[in-house]
Amino acid sequence: MIKNYVRRLLPSELHYSQSPQIGLIICSDSRVSPGVYIGKPVEPGEVFISRNIGNQATYDGKNPTPEVSCMIHELDSIRRIIIGGHSDCDAVEAATLPEREFEELHYSIRQGLSLMRKRLYDVAQIEGLRKAEEENVHNQVEFIVGYLKEYDSRKVDVMGMYYDFSTGEVSVININGNRNIKSL
């Protein structure tokens, strides 16, 4: 029954392969809709989406997550990768908790947030959670840009975007590692 429902929704050209032009790395937070970052509802086959806590492209700073690896190494159609961060991010907040509270998180969550914690703890303490959320997006963009330079010769644009829940605004904050968007 579910199989028939899915077949009706999926265009026949997508039954056996996919060739999305956009790769999207966003938080698994249920408040975040993928369409926010491309400006419209996402159609089947249009976007390859990776969702995880904290919109991470890497957990160790050396290797991409499996989904990002697939975007880069298996989907030759990808021409843009978007890292989408957002306000009130529970993952960034958890990664920047005081040590005692961080240690109370489940082991697998601590493991998933350990690199974020190393990179964002001081930022959050000095400049606040929003700055840490934006810095997380910058870190992920810079990882992807560096990884692409080393392992892939295609021209893939990498964009960092930030979605503010309170205003509904989505801003581009990084393009191909350039944080100074006004100069582009």
Question: What percent of the chain is modeled with pLDDT above 90?
Answer: 82
With respect to residue 6, please indicate whether it lies within any of the assigned structural domains.
no
Question: Is residue 100 assigned to a domain?
Answer: yes
**Nearest-CA neighbor of 89 among 126, 116, 68, 66?**
116
Could you tell me if 133 and 57 are in contact, meaning their C-beta atoms sit under 8 angstroms apart?
no
CATH code of residue 161: 3.40.1050.10
Average the pLDDT over 57-66 and give the result: 94
Would you say residue 44 lies in a domain? Answer: yes
Q: Which residues contact 170 (CB under 8 A, 6 or more apart)?
A: 36, 37, 39, 161, 162, 163, 164
In the chain, the percentage of residues whose pLDDT exceeds 70 is 91
pLDDT attached to residue 107: 96
Name the β-bridge partners of 49: 24
pLDDT at 163 over 60: yes
Report phi then psi at 52, rounded to 5.
Answer: -155, 170
Count of domains observed in the chain: 1
Amino acid at 133: E
Examine residue 8 and state whether it is found in any structural domain, yes or no. Answer: no
3-state secondary structure of 142: helix
**Which domain, by its residues, includes 96?**
20-179
In a domain, 30, yes or no: yes
| Residue 184 pLDDT greater than 60, yes or no | no
113-118 mean pLDDT: 96
Q: Is residue 156 part of a domain?
A: yes
183 pLDDT higher than 60 = no
How far is residue 180's CA from residue 70's CA, in Å, rounded to a whole number? 29
Reported as a single tens digit per residue, the pLDDT across 101-111 is 999 999 999 99
Residue 13 lies in a domain: no
Q: What is the mean pLDDT of residues 120-148?
A: 96
Average pLDDT of 152-174?
Answer: 93
82, containing H or E segment: strand 80-86
What pLDDT is stored for residue 97 in this prediction? 97
Residue 47 neighbours by CB under 8 Å, 6+ apart: 20, 22, 23, 24, 34, 38
Task: Report the pLDDT value the prediction gives residue 152, as an integer from 0 to 100.
Answer: 77
pLDDT value for 153: 77
Q: Is residue 74 part of a domain?
A: yes
The SS3 assignment for 33 reads: coil
pLDDT score of 2 more than 80: no
